[in-house]
Amino acid sequence: MPEFLTVTDADFEARFAALLGMKREEAEDVDAAVAAILADVRARGDAAVLELTARYDRLTLDAAGMAFSPAEIAAEIAKVSAEDRAALELAAERIRAYHARQRPEDASWVDAAGARLGWRWTPVSAAGLYVPGGLASYPSSVLMNAIPAKVAGVGRLVVTCPTPGGVVNPLVLLAAQISGVDEIYRIGGAQAIAALAYGTETIAPVDKITGPGNAYVAAAKRRVFGRVGIDMIAGPSEILVIADAGNDPDWIALDLLSQAEHDQSAQALLITTDAALGRAVAEAVVRRLETLERREIAGASWRDNGAVIVVETLAQAAALANRIAPEHLEIMVEDAEALADAIPHAGAIFLGPWTPEAIGDYVGGPNHVLPTARSARFSSGLNVLDFMKRTTMARMTPEALKAIGPSAERLAISESLEAHGLSVRARLDRLNG
Amino acid sequence: MPEFLTVTDADFEARFAALLGMKREEAEDVDAAVAAILADVRARGDAAVLELTARYDRLTLDAAGMAFSPAEIAAEIAKVSAEDRAALELAAERIRAYHARQRPEDASWVDAAGARLGWRWTPVSAAGLYVPGGLASYPSSVLMNAIPAKVAGVGRLVVTCPTPGGVVNPLVLLAAQISGVDEIYRIGGAQAIAALAYGTETIAPVDKITGPGNAYVAAAKRRVFGRVGIDMIAGPSEILVIADAGNDPDWIALDLLSQAEHDQSAQALLITTDAALGRAVAEAVVRRLETLERREIAGASWRDNGAVIVVETLAQAAALANRIAPEHLEIMVEDAEALADAIPHAGAIFLGPWTPEAIGDYVGGPNHVLPTARSARFSSGLNVLDFMKRTTMARMTPEALKAIGPSAERLAISESLEAHGLSVRARLDRLNG
């Protein structure tokens, strides 16, 4: 059974703090192995990637075989049913429409001193998307990473996806095609991150790498950060449901289980003002676990990391939610919008009983790559700006330089940066002389 | 003498590539020492910070003395001249006005399926700003880090600034006061980053840490990344000037030297269509170096890392500039705006002969914390969004769920995530039943 906490319990704060501080992920120490792989690929390029792919993915390739050819892609995609294709296309269309609204605006204005100021947004030239192989090879994640990049205007979008034993998920290839991916390589692990960051004879380097992966991939991304941009380092998935009386316990149980089934390390939490609902949800989870395909994983997650927290007021619920800073937040209370306003720290918010989090995983439109492990306190889900950068622009006129230049000169002198000051002074002297 | 390259030279590509790949920074291996400091502060809090401050900064404090008191701040600030104060206030006002325009908009709309979608921006609750001590303790950097945070709406803004031997720069305290900083601590190094990330008895933890620092600070920021947000890891400063014939060689020389004087590792580059201008600039640099206060540093930077590159066309200049992806780019050609349009990869662009880069360091308005080491390919200068995060919002109606829910269910099944599908199905069944 998961934790059952009530805010009036004497030991509530200690138990809640323990829940918050819980280390759900084994930090596998793969850093030394990853450093060696990165150095090897950097030094030997394709040859190293091919050897590592043979070793870890039991797949013998030559350099020409690293990329899926158009014919291979077409042959795999032909296996997809019309219904699956239609669902993927609906999802892509909705994700594209949502993210299109995130395109930022350039700005340019002349201020009172006569200076023209502004900024300009431009896309990164090339981005790499890591797609895990095997069970966690999700076509929806391809859409969620690739579409924002394409909306941003990324010119070259590369997917790497390991195919252990040569097996690939046709839906992943279809999702890549629908999203406008330009190149797809059958490689994975730290060697794929190295190939994307440093380039090889066959794979040109990219500027930004996104996408989830195992401990090797995460360690490799952390190491190449700076040489290329990376997205967040994703941790296990989380959901927090806040519900008042009158909700269907079975719906909430399924929403909790839809996070719990991802991973034994996932965390599903319920905060409710109604203790009876809390108990009913816990019972419904047990019932649903009896038949759920992934009952082993989901059951372990719920047992080890799950909790039902009973509060007296929604203000208490908001305060706890802000401390949790959940990746996914479902709000199923009478005035869900008002409660959402009181919870700034959350990755994605799902309002009302008709918005199960699974909608957001696939077809809602918002991104499902979201900040985990309390990082919603300071970071955002994947979005179009992650594939763009802002350049600031300034143009002084002689008049503007006369107005503000002397202050720049003064500050430069106060910081003992003489050449800074002289670069302004030389121009002012021309104007005054 | 620095490199003098001409695009028509037979060995141009090799020499330019060498310039680009030049490793200007010694990667000091401080990672093990930093890991120990982080662990120590995490375990022992104030006591560890105080011991490390005594050891590294020759400063004996007790916990109560870590923060500057209001009286201490007032006493230091009283030493600032009226002229310096006025210059700092002008800078602050202009930086505030520029960054105020970066405040992002929330969005909310109802789409064709009847789903209400949108997003919301909120500030991080608390941010920490690292300010180096000693020579590189720049009041302008306090403004450039603190003002965007305050414009974003950060509730609590903390500065840490080491004061070796107890010496502090009064202008740094004044800049902090003008920017609305809430707490200032006399601590530095990896121990300050640890205190900000983990908190101590005296210093509450923050959610985001920004600001430049030495190798220890950089390694500490890299290690706490994930637990808190960080800004970029800054490398040595760079400037690229693109100029055509008819520019004043002395102005360009001073602009190049104003980067070179920062640091021996800084890089100052000129690309010009006019070989005579290139030679004249090189001569002007030599002349200016004769008397410049920081001639040792600036001279070494120019000699070791500087270059004059002569091209035949501005299109060639743009292509090289994009490969350099400079932190600072000055464009002094007839149609500077047109050339800027051809150079997407730059941190900040300064247009025309009346816009020396030093204006941008102090009073222009745009931020001077900018991406170095070619990272302008994928990242932006510090800005208001660095202190905010976006939460996506979704609310389905029963009709919207009927329209798009079946596709979500289908994709969930294709990914073998049964509970995801059931959480949608249970609701659809209610609607259909």
**A174-190 residue pLDDT tens:** 999 999 999 999 999 99
A250 and A217 within one domain: no
**Mean pLDDT for all residues in chain A:** 95
A195's enclosing H/E stretch is: helix A189-198
| Mean pLDDT to the nearest integer, A301-308 | 96
A356 and A308 within one domain: yes
> Which stretch of A94-108, B100-114, B208-222 has the lowest confidence by average pLDDT?
B208-222
| A96 inside domain | yes
Q: Which of B417, B428, B430 to mutate to test the interface with A (most CBs of A within 10 A)?
A: B417
| Mean pLDDT to the nearest integer, B175-195 | 98
Query: What is the per-residue pLDDT for A366?
Result: 98
> Which stretch of A146-150, A232-236, A273-277, B345-349 has the lowest confidence by average pLDDT?
A232-236
Nearest CA of chain A to the CA of B390: how many Å? 5
Residues of chain B in contact with residue A119, where contact means CB-CB under 8 angstroms, are 102, 366
Which one of B342, B364, B386 terminates a domain? B364
| A117 inside domain | no
Which CA distances in Å does A304 have to A19, A177, A291?
10, 39, 19
**A229-246 residue pLDDT tens:** 999 877 889 999 999 999
A206 and A96 within one domain: yes
A204 and A78 within one domain: yes
B250 and B153 within one domain: no
- Name the strands in the sheet holding B107-110, side by side, starting at the edge strand that comes first in the sequence: A3-6, A307-310, A267-272, A238-243, A328-332, A348-351, B388-395, B116-123, B107-110
> Is position A89 annotated in a ligand binding site?
no
Which CA distances in Å does B225 have to A110, A222, B193, B196, B208?
38, 9, 11, 12, 9
Beta-sheet pairing, A328-332 with A238-243:
parallel
Between A24 and B206, name the one with better pLDDT: B206
Does the beta-carbon distance from B395 to A352 stay under 8 Å? Answer: yes
Closest chain B residue to A141, measured at CA: B415
**B377-413 residue pLDDT tens:** 999 999 999 999 999 999 999 999 999 999 999 999 9
Which one of A178, A212, A230 terminates a domain? A230
Cβ contact A350:A360 at 8 Å: yes
Query: What is the per-residue pLDDT for B27?
Result: 65
In the predicted structure, residue B335 carries a pLDDT above the cut 80? yes
C-alpha to C-alpha distance for A185 and A65, rounded to whole angstroms: 9
B310's enclosing H/E stretch is: strand B307-310
A79: number of Cβ within 10 Å: 12
| A372 inside domain | no
Query: What is the per-residue pLDDT for B22?
Result: 81
B89 and B221 within one domain: yes
Which backbone phi and psi does A49 adopt, to 5 degrees?
-60, -45
Cβ contact B364:B96 at 8 Å: no
B347 and B424 within one domain: no
In the predicted structure, residue A128 carries a pLDDT above the cut 90? yes
Q: For the domain that residue B199 is a member of, what is the CATH number? A: 3.40.50.1980
| A116 inside domain | no
Query: What is the per-residue pLDDT for A26?
Result: 62
**B315-325 residue pLDDT tens:** 999 999 999 99
| A73 inside domain | yes
**Mean pLDDT for all residues in chain B:** 95
Which one of A341, A364, A387 terminates a domain? A364
Cβ contact B132:B214 at 8 Å: yes
| B382 inside domain | no
> pLDDT band for position B228 (50/70/90)?
very high
Longest dimension (CA), chain A: 88
> Is position A368 annotated in a ligand binding site?
no
> pLDDT band for position A28 (50/70/90)?
low
| A58 inside domain | yes
Does the beta-carbon distance from B394 to A83 stay under 8 Å? Answer: no
Catalytic annotation present for B51: no
Catalytic annotation present for A328: yes
Cβ contact B305:B266 at 8 Å: yes
Quote the number of domains for chain B. Answer: 3
In the predicted structure, residue A321 carries a pLDDT above the cut 80? yes
B151 and B9 within one domain: no
Place of tokens 């040792």: B296
Query: What is the per-residue pLDDT for A88?
Result: 98
Tokens standing for residue B425: 């199905």
C-alpha to C-alpha distance for A288 and A285, rounded to whole angstroms: 5
In the predicted structure, residue A104 carries a pLDDT above the cut 90? yes
Query: What is the per-residue pLDDT for B28?
Result: 67
Q: What angle do CA B113, B119, B120 make, to 5 degrees?
A: 150
| A113 inside domain | no
B301 and B258 within one domain: yes
A210 and A253 within one domain: no
In the predicted structure, residue A433 carries a pLDDT above the cut 80? no
Classified as helix, coil or strand, B123 is: strand
B324 and B290 within one domain: yes
Does the beta-carbon distance from B135 to A416 stay under 8 Å? Answer: yes
**A362-378 residue pLDDT tens:** 999 999 999 999 999 99
Range of the domain at B409: 396-432
Q: What is the ipTM of this complex?
A: 0.96
Binding-site residue ranges of B for NAD(+): 130, 191, 214
Catalytic residue among A76, A99, A238, A328: A328
B304 and B266 within one domain: yes
